[in-house]
Amino acid sequence: MKTSRLFRRISLGSATIWLALFVLAPNLLILVTSFLTRDEASFVAPAFSLDGYAKILSPVFLDVLIKSVYLAGTATLICLLAAYPFAWTLARIKSRHKGLLLLLVMIPFWTNSLIRTYAMVFVLKGKGLISQVLTGLGIAEHPVSFMYTEFAIFAGLTYTLLPFMILPLYSSIDKLDESMLEAAGDLGAGRFKAFVHVILPLTKPGIIAGCMMVFLPALGMFYIPDILGGGKHLIVGNFIKNQFLTARDWPGGSAASVLLTLIMLLLMRFYGTSSRRLGKQGGDEL
Amino acid sequence: MRRLGAAARLVPVYLFLYLPIIVLVIFSFNSSKYSTAWRGFTWKWYGKLLGNEQLIDAALNSLTVAVLAATLATSLGTLLAVALYRYKFQGKSAVKAGVFVIMMSPDIVMGVSLLLLFMLLGMQPGFWPLLLAHTTFCIPFVTATVMSRLKGFDPHLIEAAEDLYAGEYRTFRHVILPMCLPAVFAGWLLSFTLSMDDVIISFFVTGPDFDILPLRIYAMVRMGVKPDVNALSAIMVGITVCLVFTYQLLMRKKK
C-alpha cells in the first residue's frame, strides 16, 4: 500500500508545509524584527533592541491605539446591537423566502469592502443621502457633509463589517434548542430572565465570534479612515502601514503587528473557553 | 402582528445594507459628471471603462491571479480538509487550530509579514508574491468549506470503499472527492472572491509593475467620487451577486 502512504503524506504535508512557509515563518520574522534595531540603509540591523516596543509605548502610538480601540470598539458594539435582534428574527422566521433573506445577507458579506466603503461616500457627502433627508425634513437648512468626521468612520466601519457580525450570530441562534426556551418558560422565567440566563449564555460563542470578526479587521482597515476620515483619524492599520512604507521603522511596525496578533490570540482564547463550556471544541467552525 | 414585528426588525438592516449600493449603481448611469443630481440615463461611463487600458490591464491581472490562486488554494485546501477528516496524527489539533487562527488573523499583519518574507527572499513585489500571498489566505477558507461538507457524510461509504480494497488515493478519487465536489467548487468561488476583494495584503506584496483592480480602485477612490468608478463598482457588485447565487446553489443541503 505504497500509494496510500504517499497520498496520506501529500494530502497532509502539502498544505501544512505551505502554511508553515507563508504564515508561520513570516510571523516569526515579524517577531524577530520587532526586537531588532532600526537602520536607515538596510531597514533593520541585526542587533537586539527594545526600540520597537519603546515606540509602541510612546504617546504617539498610544494615542493611535486608544483612538483605534475606541473607534473599533464602538463600531463593534453598534454592530452587535443592530445585528442581534436582526439575526434572532432571521433565524426564527418561518417564511418561504427565508433562503432569499439569508442570501441578501451573504451578498454584502461577499462584496468588495473597498467598494462598500466608497458607496458610503454617497450617503455621507454634502448633498448625499443623509444630507438630502435632513434638508427635506427641514431639520437642516443647507446641505451638510459628514465626510471626514468621526461619525463617517463609525458609519464606514459599521457598514462594511455588519455582515460579519450577523452571520456568526445567526448560526449560533439557529443552533439554539427550542426546548431550552420552553423549559425556561415552564420554570416561570419571564422573557427578560430567559434572555439573560438562557439565551445569552447559549449564544455567547456566536457573540464573541462576531465581535472578533468586526473588532479585529476594524483595527486594521486603513482605507476606511483614509477614504472617509480624510486621513485625520489614524488607526493601528494606518500606523503599521506608515511604519513600513513611509517612516521606514520596521521594528516599530513589527512591534505593533505583534501587539495585534496578541490581541487576536487573546480574543480567540476567550472564544475557545466560552464555546468549550457549551460542550463543543474550540475551532468547531471547521 | 408578529409578522409586522419581524419586518420592523429586518427591514431597517436590509435598507442600511443595500441603500448605499443601490444609490451607487443608480449614479453609475447618471449622465452628469458631478454626481449630485440626476441628469438623465447614460451608458457612457461603462463605455469609458472599456477605453481605459490601464484599468483593463489591472482587471486582467486581477483575474489571472484570482483564477490561479483559487485553483492552487482549492487543491491544497481540499487535501488538507480530507487529511483532517480521515487521519489521526500527532499535532492534528494544532493544525486545526492553526487553520482557524489564519482565518481570523488581521490582514494587515499578514500583509507586512509577507512583505518581510519576500524582501528576505529577494523577491521583487509583483505577480509571484501576489500569487503566493493570495493562495495562502484562501487555503483556510477552502479547508473550512470542504470540512463542513465532509462532516455530513455517511462514514459507511468510506468503510465500504476500504472493504473493497481501495487504497487511500482511490478512496479519495472515487468516493470522497465526488461526494464533496460541490463544496470544492464553492471553496474555489469563495477563494476567487477573496482574491478579487483583497486590498490590504495586496497593497504590501505587489508593486507598480503589476497593478491589480482593487488597488487601482483604491487609488481612484481616494480622488473622490467619479462616474467611471461608479460604473466599475457597479460591475463588480453585479459579478459578486452572480457568484453568491452560484455558491448558494452549490452549498445547498441535499434533502
- C-alpha A114: how far from chain center: 15
Radius of gyration of chain A (CA): 23
The domain segmentation of chain B, as residue ranges, is 1-42, 53-251
Q: What is the pLDDT of residues B142-200, one digit of tens each?
A: 999 999 889 888 888 888 887 888 888 888 888 889 888 999 999 999 999 999 999 99
Q: What's the distance, CA A23 to chain centroid?
A: 19
Q: B-chain residues within 8 Å CB-CB of A93?
A: 6, 10
Contact criterion met (CB below 8 Å) for B212 and B65: yes
Say how far apart CA B44 and CA A18 lie, in whole Å.
46
Beta strand pairing call for A37-39 and A43-45 = antiparallel
Measure the CA angle with vertex A37, ends A34 and A40; round to 5°. Answer: 115
CB contact under 8 A, A125 and B144: no
Smallest CA-to-CA distance from A74 within A218, A206, A217 is with A218
Quote the mean pLDDT of chain A: 90
Q: Residue A95's domain spans which residues? A: 53-277
Q: What is the pLDDT of residues B111-129, one digit of tens each?
A: 999 999 999 999 999 999 9
> What domain count does chain A have?
1
The grid coordinates listed for A231 are: 486621513
The answer to whether position A11 is within a domain reads no
- Which of B107, B133, B169 comes nearest A3 by C-beta? B169
pLDDT digits (tens, 9 = 90+) for A132-167: 889 888 888 888 889 999 999 999 999 999 999 999
Predicted confidence at residue B35, as pLDDT, reads 57
Does a structural domain hold residue A42? Answer: no
Quote the pLDDT of residue A282: 41
HEC readout, chain A = CHHHHHHHHHHHHHHHHHHHHHHHHHHHHHHHHCCCEEECCCEEECCCCCHHHHHHCCHHHHHHHHHHHHHHHHHHHHHHHHHHHHHHHHHHCCCCCHHHHHHHHHHHHHCCHHHHHHHHHHHHCCCCHHHHHHHHCCCCCCCCCCCCCHHHHHHHHHHHHHHHHHHHHHHHHHCCCHHHHHHHHHCCCCHHHHHHHHHHHHCHHHHHHHHHHHHHHHHHCCHHHHHHCCCCCCCHHHHHHHHHHCCCCHHHHHHHHHHHHHHHHHHHHHHHHHHHHCCCCCCCCC
Separation of first and last alpha carbons in chain B: 32
Interface contact flag, B80 A101, Cβ < 8 Å: no
Which residue among B95, B112, B222 places its CB closest to the CB of A30? B112
Looking at the predicted structure, is the pLDDT value of residue A286 above 50? Answer: no
| Angle separating helix axes A113-124 and B213-221, nearest 10 degrees | 20
Q: Is residue A44 part of a domain?
A: no
Residue A283, in any domain of the structure: no
Is the pLDDT at A1 greater than 90? The verdict is no
Q: Answer yes or no: are the C-beta atoms of B230 and B24 closer than 8 Å.
A: yes
Residue A9 falls within a domain, yes or no?
Answer: no
Task: Supply the pLDDT for residue B206.
Answer: 94
Please state which of the ranges A20-29, A32-41, A62-71 shows the lowest mean pLDDT: A32-41
Give A110's contacts in chain B (Cβ within 8 Å): 193, 197, 240, 243-244, 247
For residue A215, the domain's CATH number is 1.10.3720.10
Measured between CA atoms, the residue of chain A closest to residue B92 is A12
Q: List the single residue in B16, B23, B79 with the smallest CB-CB distance to A10.
A: B79
> Which residues are paired to A37 by β-bridges?
A45
- Position A22 scores a pLDDT of 96
- In chain B, the percentage of residues whose pLDDT exceeds 90 is 60
Whether B15 has a pLDDT exceeding 90, the answer reads: yes
Across the range A17-21, mean pLDDT stands at 95
Residue A221 scores a pLDDT above 60: yes
| CATH, domain B53-251, list 1.10.3330.10, 3.40.47.10, 3.40.950.10, 1.10.3720.10 | 1.10.3720.10
Cell numbers linked to A80: 452587535
Residue A149 falls inside a structural domain: yes
Does A134 fall in a domain? yes
pLDDT of residue A40 exceeding 80 = no
* A22 contacts B136? CB cut-off 8 A: yes
- pLDDT on residue A77: 97
| The predicted structure's pLDDT at residue A279 | 63
| Cell numbers found for residue A138 | 427641514
